[in-house]
Amino acid sequence: MSHVVLVLVETVNDYLPLLEHEGFELILAPTMASRAAAIAEHGARIDAVLTRGPLGLFAEEMAALPLLKIICVIGAGYEQVDLQAASNRGITVTNGAGANASSVADHAMALLLSLVRGIPQADAGIRRGEWNKLRQPSVAAKRLGIIGLGAVGLAIAKRAANGFDMSISYHNRQPRPDTPYTYCASVAELAAAVDFLIVATPGGSDTRHLVDAPVLDALGPHGYLINIARGSVIDTDALIAALASARIAGAGLDVFDHEPQVPDALKTLGNVVMTPHMGGQSPEAAQGTVQLVVNNLLAYFSGQPVLTPVRLPTPV
């Protein structure tokens, strides 16, 4: 019997044939309207869902999918998936941890270099007919702090240490003694010890506003902040205030609280570089994430352990 996968994502269509090649029937529903319609029409047949962290899957949707057995999340974050509802139903949840780490790490470094070296401002000046040679700080041999030393954080650290001779410090839920990097017990301690601070931790309630006004003050007027994780990890109001008053030197942002809406206050600041949540978007990452979904589904439906399980709360 063919397994039926409800596909809620909209960014990996070129690689969905990987699923079809393995015999999975796909129902594409990339908008909220088509999603509701698909669940109403096909809910009795769907036994797997493919989604992203911001798109999630809600308890009432799970309730309308009586055969649902597994939810596969593309990317590391799963903040809008109702894990409690999944746990209560005995539904397995997997994520894409590590599949797009190289792409996200590349993007983090690109944001950092663009921001610190003033690339957008220099480009805009030339297009206006100007020739202003900006005197911007060097990136080499600086101190880099990483919040979240998972697959993405480790990939960033490797690029920074090996390519730019940076010293690496980090804050994580637990120290990583398997790495040569310096552990800081708090985010504020980390911010105070570095020149550049990169946020690479998952979103969700546990990390909400982990970077707040005191952390930004600890980073200081010569410090730069990069966020390629989730907008919720940073207190956006505090960030805007710190940028506007030059309490930090600048910020590079790929993620925002209410995507695709971006606060107008950020758009008016000259010390911000922004991209539209594209850090994990590359052909290599898309293929890798879909292949991981394929591998997880094949493992699950053959009775084997899934490769990247998400830890679920205790059923209630």
Q: How far apart are CA 111 and CA 226, in angstroms?
A: 7
Nearest-CA neighbor of 297 among 126, 50, 58, 57? 50
DSSP percent split of the chain into helix, strand, coil, nearest 5: 40, 15, 45
List 89, 277, 284, 311, catalytic entry? 277
Annotated catalytic, 277? Answer: yes
Q: Are 200 and 181 in contact (CB under 8 A)?
A: no
Neighbours of 36 (CB within 10 A): 13
- Residue for token digits 């991209």? 275
Q: How far apart are CA 218 and CA 190, in angstroms?
A: 9
Complete edge-to-edge strand list for the sheet that includes strand 4-7: 25-28, 4-7, 48-52, 70-74, 92-94
Residues 6+ apart with CB under 8 A from 230: 53, 77, 79, 202, 203, 204, 207, 255
Annotated catalytic, 259? Answer: yes
Annotated catalytic, 222? Answer: no
Pairing, β 48-52 against β 70-74:
parallel
List 20, 60, 259, 284, catalytic entry? 259
Residues 6+ apart with CB under 8 A from 283: 14
List 127, 230, 258, 311, catalytic entry? 230
289 is written with which tokens? 């994430």
Catalytic positions, written as ranges: 230, 259, 277
